Amino acid sequence: MDSIEVGRQKAERLHKDGVAYGHNPWEPYGFVCAEAARRDLIVEEVAKGDVRLYGGRAVYDADSLLIIHEQSGDRFTDAFLVAHEIGHAEFGGGEAPSQATKIDPLQASEAVPLGVDRVVDYSHRQRREVLMNVFAREFLLPRSWMRDLHLDERLTAAEIASKCGAPHAVVAQQLLDALLLPPIVIPEESQVANLPLTTDQSAAAEHDGTPLLLEAGPGTGKTKTLVGRIEYLISKGVDPASILVLTFSNKAAGELSERIAARHPQAVASMWIGTFHGFGLDIIRRFHDRLGLPRDPRLIDRTDAIGLLEDEYPRLGLKHFKDLQDPTGNLAEILAAISRAHDEVVDANAYRKLAEVMLTRAGDDRERLQSECHLEVAKVFAAYEKLKLDAGSIDFGDLVALPVRLLETHEDVRAHLASRYKHILVDEFQDVNRSSVRLLKALAGNGRNLWVVGDVKQSIYRFRGASSFNVARFGREDFGGGERRRLTRNYRSVKEIVDVFSTFAAVMPSSKDSEVGLDADRGPSGYEAEYRSVDFVDDEITAVAETIHNMREAGYRYRDQAILSAGNERLTRFADHLEHLGIPVLYLGSLFERDEVKDLLSLLSIIIDRRPMGLLRVAALRGYATPLSDVVNFLAYVRELDCGPMKWYAALDNAPDLSGPGRSALRRIGDLLNGFLPGSNPWDVLATVLLDRTRMAAEFAVAPDVRSKSQALAIWQLMNFLRVQPSAPGLPIYRVLERIRRLVLLADERDLRQLPIAAQGIDAVRLMTMHGSKGLEFSVVHIPGLNEGSLPRSAAAMVAHGISPPDGMIEGAEGKGTDAVKAALLEEQECLCYVALSRARDRLFLYSPTKKSNGHRCARSSFIDRLAGHLQVQHIRPALSINALEENAVPITFEGRVVYTDRQLSLYERCPRRFLYTHVLELGGRRRETAFMKLHVAVQKVVDAMRNREALTTDQLKALFEETWVAAGPVDHGYRDEYKSIAWQLIRFYVESVGDMRVQPSEELRLAVDGGEVVVTPDQQLAGASGQIVMRRVNTGHKHSKEDEKLAAAAFQLAATMHRPGCRVELVHLSDATVTPVSLSAQKLANRRQSLSDVSRAVGAGHFPAKAEITCPRCPSFFICGRLPEGSFTKKILA
C-alpha cells in the first residue's frame, strides 16, 4: 500500500500549495475548481447519467483539459469528484480518459483484514481508484490541517464539517487517521532490491522449457528473483495479460504488484496478480452459471457458517456431536474438518464414503466411534453444502475447491483459461495445499511455463493443508519433467546466524536428503548466537529485558529488536511485564480484550442495554469517575425502574442513595451518550464520542509514550473494523457486539492483531508470533520459551482438539488420518523454529527456564540441543526483577455472614470475577438469546413448577408444558417443532427418572462453613419404596466434566447427609439423560470442606480474580470485565 501513502502525502503537499496560492480550503468546491483552473483544466457539470460520463460519476479527459462531473446534489461530493479527477491528472499514466465510478469519500487506506477483504485485494486498477479516493479526501481535508484545527483551534469534527460543508463522517475519518496513527515515514527503496540479479538468480529467472521449482531459503532474494522472472517475461515480449502470479497473501500480491508497476506500469495493469483464493473467486464469478451460483455469490466466513448451521442443527439429529446447550463449539470443529476436506478436494459424498470404509474396517470400539463421528461430519457437510447453495453463498474453502472441480469437469472452461494464462508463477509454493496443486495442474497442463518458488523448511500452514508432499512430488508425479534450482547465498544474516539455522535444517524431516546449507554473503560478525538459560519463567522476562538494554547500548534501537514466540499467551505476558520494566513494546494482542477497546465497547453497550452494566466500566474512566457504591446503587435503581435503554438518564435526579460527585459523574456519562438511539450506528457513536464530545483522540495524539501510541492504534483498528460491518437486520450496535463475541470465541479476530502499516515508525520492541514473523527481518531477535513441551509441543496435545481427517482423505498420507495430522504438526513446529531463527540479521538470543515454579526440573527444547557447537551457552541470574501484576482486592464489606447457594458457589469456582458481577454487584446483563437458550429456559420453568408437587398425569404434564412453551419457548423459530420435541424429550426423561419413587417437599439445606454459610435447595426430594431418601439437583443442560466432584456437589452432599444421614445425592442432566450419584469419599469431603471455607474467606476478603477462559466471550460481563470504579461497597448478605 505504499503507493497509496505516497499519493496521500502528495495530496497533502498540493493542498498546502493551493492554500499558499490563496485558494480557500473552507470552500471545497471553489477550492478544487480554482485548483483545476491553475492546472489549465476546466470543470463542467452535467446531469447524472449524461452520456459524457460513460456510466461513471466523473471523467477526466487530458486531451480536452476537461473534468466533467455529475451534479450530485451535494457541493462537497461535487468537490470530491473533482478532486478525485485532479488526482488522475496529477498522477497521469492513463492514455485513455479516466472515469470514476466508485467514489468513496470514506475509502480506507488499509482494508480490514476480515471477511471478503481478506480474500479479495484490490486489483491494480481498483488500487488506482482507491488511491484517487484517498488522494481526493486528503486534497480537500488533509490530515495535517485537520490535526491543527482539532488540536490547536480546538474545533470538533462537527464544527469542521459544518464550516466546510463536508459530511461529518469524512471529517471524522480524516481526524481519526490524523490523530490516532503516527505519521508514516516512507522507507527508502531497499538497496538490495534494486541491485541486479546475481548469476544464480538470473539463471532461475530466465529458466525456459520445463516447469521450475526454485528452492529459495531465507534471505536469498526470493521476491527479487520472482520480480526478475516477471520482468524477463515482459522483456521477451510475453503478453502481460497471459501472466498469472499467485501468492498467499494480499500483502505479498500488493508488494509484487507495486514493484513491477514501478518499471512496467502498463504491463502490471493487465497481469493477474493475487492470491489463490482471489483468483478462485474470479473464476467462480466468471463461470457462476456453470456452478449453479448467482453472478456475485456471497462469501461467508466461519461465523456466518455457524449461524447457517445453528438454525439447521435440531434437524440434524446428531449423536456424537450433540450439544443441546450451545452447538457453536461442535459446529466450529466440524466446519474445520469440512474446510480440511476442501483442501483435499473431497466433497460431502466422498467424505461419507471414506467414513463408511473406515467403519467397515474398524477393529475396535474406539475406531468404530471415530468412524461414526466421521459419518456425522459427512451428514453436516452435506447439509451445509445444500444450505450454502440455497443461499447462493460460498465459503473460503470453496474458493479453490469449486474452481478445481469446474476445471476438471469442463474441458472448454479449462482450455479457455489454460490458453489465457500461458505463464503461471507461484510464490510460497511450500504453502500450497492439494486443491491448489490440482488447480495449477488443470491450468498449467504439462506445466512447461510453470515457475514456482518456495522453501519447504518454511512451511508453516500445515493446518491449512499445506504439505511437504506437494514439494516432494514436484517434477515427479506432479509436473513431470520439472526441474529444481536452488539459491544458495543468504544476503540477510551474518555467518554465525546462517550457520545456526542451516544446522537446524540439516535434520528437519521436511528437508531430509536435500542440500540445506547457505553461504553467508555478509560473512562472520564475531558474535555467536546465544542461548541463555534462567531459573524460572519470570526470570526469562527479565533476562530478555536486560539483553534488550544491552543491545540498545550496542546501538540497536528498540524497533530493531523483536521477540518471537510460538503462541500469543507468552507474548501477552511479556508485553505486560516489559512495559512495567520501562521497555516500550508494540503488541496489540487480542484487540477486543484490550482495556481501551473494552472501554469503548462498554460505552456502546450502554446505548442498547435496559440494564446498562457498561456504566460500571465507564465509571472507572478518568473524567467520569463515579464511586463504586454509587454505580452499584444506581444500577439497582435502574433495575427496579425496568425502563427502556438510556431512559435512566432522565431519571437520574430521582435516584436515591447517590453521592453528589457520583450523581454528576453519571450525568456526564449520560451527556456523553445523550441523543443516541438503540438503532444508532456504532462507528458514528464512537466517532462522535472521540472527536466531538470528548478530547480523547486529541489526548492520544499528543501523548508521547509508546503505550498511548499502542492504545491509539488499537482504537484506530477498532474504528476501522466498525466501519465495515456486514449488513443484516437488527440493531447495529447489538449486532456488532454479538459479532465480536463470536469472532473472539472462534479466534477469528486474529488478523486484527496485525499492526496497521503506520505503526512501523514507532520505536518499540516488536512482539509477534513466529507465524506472524514470516517474511520479516530484524537486527536482533529474541526467542524465549524454548522448553520441551512448548516448542515443539507434543503432537498428542495438539490433536486432542479437533477432528482428524478420515483415513485416506489426505493425498499422499498412508495409514491413519490422525497419524498424518500428527506428523504434519510436528513438521510444522520444526518449520516455525526455522522461520524464527532465520529472521535475525545480526544477533540471535534463545532463552528457556530450567525450573518449574514448584522447583521441579523443566527440560529445555530438543531444538536447542540440535544447535550444540553453534551457540554460546550461559546461565543467567538477572538483576532485574518483576512484580507480580496482581489484581487488587475489591474493597467490599459484607454485613453479616456471607451466605450463598450451591449454584452461586459453582459460579465462583468457574470464575470468581463473574461471581462478583453476577451475585455481589448483581449486574444481570444481556446475552444473545438463542433458540436453545429459550428451550432450556422453558424446560427449567417446567422443572421449577413441578418442584414439591405430586406426580402429574400425562395430560396435566402436557398442559403444563404447552403453557410454558408458549410463554418461554422459541416459538418464532422456523424449526420450533423440532425444538419442542427436544424439550419434550428432556421433560419426559425428567419424569421417567423418578420411576416409582414418591415426590416429597424438598427442604432448604444449610451448611455452615468458616466465614459463611451455603444454602442448597434440592430440585427434587424423592422417597423410594424402602424409605430411602434421594435428593436431586436437576440441570437441563449437559454435565461438565467431573461436575460430581466439584465444590457445589460436595456442598450438596455435605448438607444433604447432615440433614438426612444416609440419603442419596444425585445430579440429573436432562440433555445427557443421565443421573449421576454424588458420593465423594470422606477424605475428599474433608478437602472440599476446607476449600469451601477458603472460598468464603476469599469472598469476604474481596478476592475476585478473573479466570481467562476461551469461553469468556459467552459471559454477559465480557465487555466490562476488568477495571472497577474507585471506592468501597457494602453488601448485605448474598443468598
Partner 1 sequence: MNLNDREVILYAFAIEPNHDRQTVERYLRQYPEIAEDLIDISSERRLREAAWVQSNDAIADPHWKEAWEQFRQHKPQGVSSGQAVSPFSTFRGQAFAKLAETLSVPRSFLTALRDGLVQASSIPERFVRRLAQTMGSSIDSLRNYFANPQASLLGRAFKSDDKPSQQGQVTFEELVQCTNMSTEQRQRLLEDCKDYGLDRGRPAEG
What are the residues binding partner 1 (CB under 8 A)?
40, 42, 44-47, 50-52, 54-55, 61-66, 68, 95-97, 99, 123, 125, 237, 239-242, 266, 269-270, 286-290, 295, 412-413, 416, 419-420
Q: Which CB, 75 or 1114, lies closer to partner 1?
A: 75
Q: Which CB, 101 or 446, lies closer to partner 1?
A: 101
Q: How far is the CB of 38 from partner 1 (least distance, A)?
A: 15
Q: How far is the CB of 261 from partner 1 (least distance, A)?
A: 15
With beta carbons less than 8 A apart as the criterion, state whether 441 and 478 touch: yes
Antiparallel, parallel or unpaired: β 765-769 and 585-586: parallel
Q: How far is the CB of 516 from partner 1 (least distance, A)?
A: 41
Residue (of 995, 917, 335) closest to 635 by Cα position: 917
Q: How far is the CB of 705 from partner 1 (least distance, A)?
A: 47
Amino acid symbol at 432: V
C-alpha cell at 777: 527481518
Q: How far is the CB of 93 from partner 1 (least distance, A)?
A: 12
Residue (of 612, 487, 507) closest to 224 by Cα position: 487
Q: How far is the CB of 439 from partner 1 (least distance, A)?
A: 18
Phi and psi dihedrals of 139, rounded to 5? -65, -35
Around Cβ 895, how many Cβ atoms within 10 Å? Answer: 9
Q: Which CB, 292 or 363, lies closer to partner 1?
A: 292
Q: Which CB, 443 or 534, lies closer to partner 1?
A: 443
Antiparallel, parallel or unpaired: β 66-70 and 42-46: parallel
Q: Which CB, 41 or 487, lies closer to partner 1?
A: 41
Q: Alpha-carbon distance 127 to 2, whole Å?
A: 11
Q: Alpha-carbon distance 37 to 18, whole Å?
A: 11
Q: Which CB, 242 or 985, lies closer to partner 1?
A: 242
Asked whether the CA dihedral 562, 564, 570, 571 is positive or negative, the reply is positive
Residue 919 DSSP one-character state: I
Q: Which CB, 102 or 163, lies closer to partner 1?
A: 102
With beta carbons less than 8 A apart as the criterion, state whether 617 and 1120 touch: yes
Q: How far is the CB of 131 from partner 1 (least distance, A)?
A: 17
Amino acid symbol at 754: Q
Phi-psi group of 1055: left, alpha or beta (phi > 0 → left; psi -120 to 50 → alpha; rest → beta): alpha
DSSP of 545-561: HHHHHHHHHTT--GGGE
Q: Which CB, 42 or 859, lies closer to partner 1?
A: 42
Q: Alpha-carbon distance 408 to 435, whole Å?
A: 11
Q: Which CB, 407 or 1067, lies closer to partner 1?
A: 407
Antiparallel, parallel or unpaired: β 212-216 and 243-247: unpaired
Q: Alpha-carbon distance 221 to 3, whole Å?
A: 22
Phi-psi group of 676: left, alpha or beta (phi > 0 → left; psi -120 to 50 → alpha; rest → beta): beta
Q: Which CB, 77 or 848, lies closer to partner 1?
A: 77
Q: Which CB, 57 or 492, lies closer to partner 1?
A: 57
Q: How far is the CB of 460 from partner 1 (least distance, A)?
A: 33
Q: How far is the CB of 260 from partner 1 (least distance, A)?
A: 15
Residue (of 559, 504, 564) closest to 779 by Cα position: 559
Q: Which CB, 413 or 767, lies closer to partner 1?
A: 413
With beta carbons less than 8 A apart as the criterion, state whether 1102 and 891 touch: yes
Q: How far is the CB of 438 from partner 1 (least distance, A)?
A: 21
Q: How far is the CB of 416 from partner 1 (least distance, A)?
A: 6
Q: How far is the CB of 340 from partner 1 (least distance, A)?
A: 30
Q: Which CB, 280 or 1011, lies closer to partner 1?
A: 280
Q: Alpha-carbon distance 1027 to 132, whole Å?
A: 85
- Gyration radius of the chain over CA positions: 32
Say which residues have a Cβ less than 8 Å from residue 1083's Cβ, sequence separation at least 6.
Answer: none
Q: Which CB, 123 or 1020, lies closer to partner 1?
A: 123
DSSP of 379-415: HHHHHHHHHHHHTTEEETTHHHHHHHHHHHH-HHHHH
Residue 945 half-sphere exposure toward CB, CA atoms < 13 A:
18
Say which residues have a Cβ less than 8 Å from residue 863's Cβ, sequence separation at least 6.
Answer: 504, 786, 791, 792, 830, 833
C-alpha cell at 758: 503506520
Q: How far is the CB of 392 from partner 1 (least distance, A)?
A: 16
Q: Alpha-carbon distance 340 to 358, whole Å?
A: 18
C-alpha cell at 259: 514493484
Q: How far is the CB of 113 from partner 1 (least distance, A)?
A: 24
Which residues, in sequence order, are bridge partners of residue 1067? 1033, 1076
Q: Which CB, 58 or 767, lies closer to partner 1?
A: 58
Q: How far is the CB of 241 from partner 1 (least distance, A)?
A: 5
